Amino acid sequence: MERNIIEIRDLTTKFGNTIVHNKINLTIQKGDIYTILGKSGSGKSTILREILMLNENFTGTIKVLGTDIKKANDSEKDRVRKSWGVMFQAASLFTSLTIGENISIPLLENTKLSKKMIEKIALFKLSLVGLERSVYEMYPSELSGGMRKKAALSRALILDPQILMLDEPTSGLDPVSAEDFDNTIRNLNQLLGLTVIIITHDLNTFFNIATRACILGDKKVLAEGNPNDIINLDDEWIKKMFFGERGIKFQWKQKQITP
């Protein structure tokens, strides 16, 4: 199998006359926890939507697991779609189904397993992301934001995907829940060998769990590589982000914790 899970080459995206991406190159390798950072409106979510084949209005090539998604036929696309699990920013659980039903849907659609077996697998995934057993019968509207995100994560994980894509997984969570979430993702990455792609604004996520990262801005990739290398790059926005008030506070805190 190829080492490059996702390869983006010369990606250019335009919305009308505004250029969102101008010849972007990204490479995501197997086993990475890859975070995509960037200003609001720098086209982070657009990249995700393009990888997910929800937005095909771009030029350049995007290869997922070696398949060029623009040239792929339907069965190849289907294979690619089953190889990833996605969690959207708003969790996007089906509001009229219970959490258990939400998690089971991919199994019900793709296999002929017995109800009992599907329940067992779904309950295991629920426990894996750290949710209580009692959540299984509840409806999304009865859960807190953090629990909803975890439930969405367990739905994304149900088919044991090779790639896990998360759009702002920790936004709107309190710091403890966010750290909890980060740990869950790191564990999954280590235990199951998942490749994780995270779009985030959260510096904690960036510093704590990312193994590789890229920063988007001004229609191109400002930096790509190891998180520690990125911090030291000479770019105004990057400096502002890491050495601005919030960034400095964060680094100061890190020093306190790990002397």
Neighbours of 252 (CB within 10 A): 9
The order of strands in the sheet holding 84-87 is 84-87, 163-167, 195-199, 33-38, 212-217, 220-225
Report how far apart, in Å, the C-alpha atoms of 180 and of each of 23, 129, 205, 208 are: 36, 10, 11, 12
**Contact (Cβ atoms closer than 8 angstroms) between residue 99 and residue 178:** no
- Which region, judged by CB under 8 A, interacts with another protein, from 12-20, 67-75, 135-143, 214-222? 135-143
Near another protein by CB under 8 A: residue from 56, 160, 174, 229: 160
- Residue 232 C-beta: closest distance to another protein, Å: 36
- Residue 140 C-beta: closest distance to another protein, Å: 7
Contacts (CB under 8 A) with another protein, residues 68-127 = 94-96, 100, 107, 110-114, 117, 119-121, 123-125, 127
**Contact (Cβ atoms closer than 8 angstroms) between residue 30 and residue 19:** no
- Residue 242 C-beta: closest distance to another protein, Å: 35
- Residue 183 C-beta: closest distance to another protein, Å: 14
Amino acid at 17: N
Nearest-Å Rg of the Cα atoms of the chain is 19
Of residues 35 and 98, the one with the C-beta less far from another protein: 98
- List residues binding another protein (CB under 8 A): 94-96, 100, 107, 110-114, 117, 119-121, 123-125, 127-128, 133, 136-137, 139-141, 159-160, 191-192
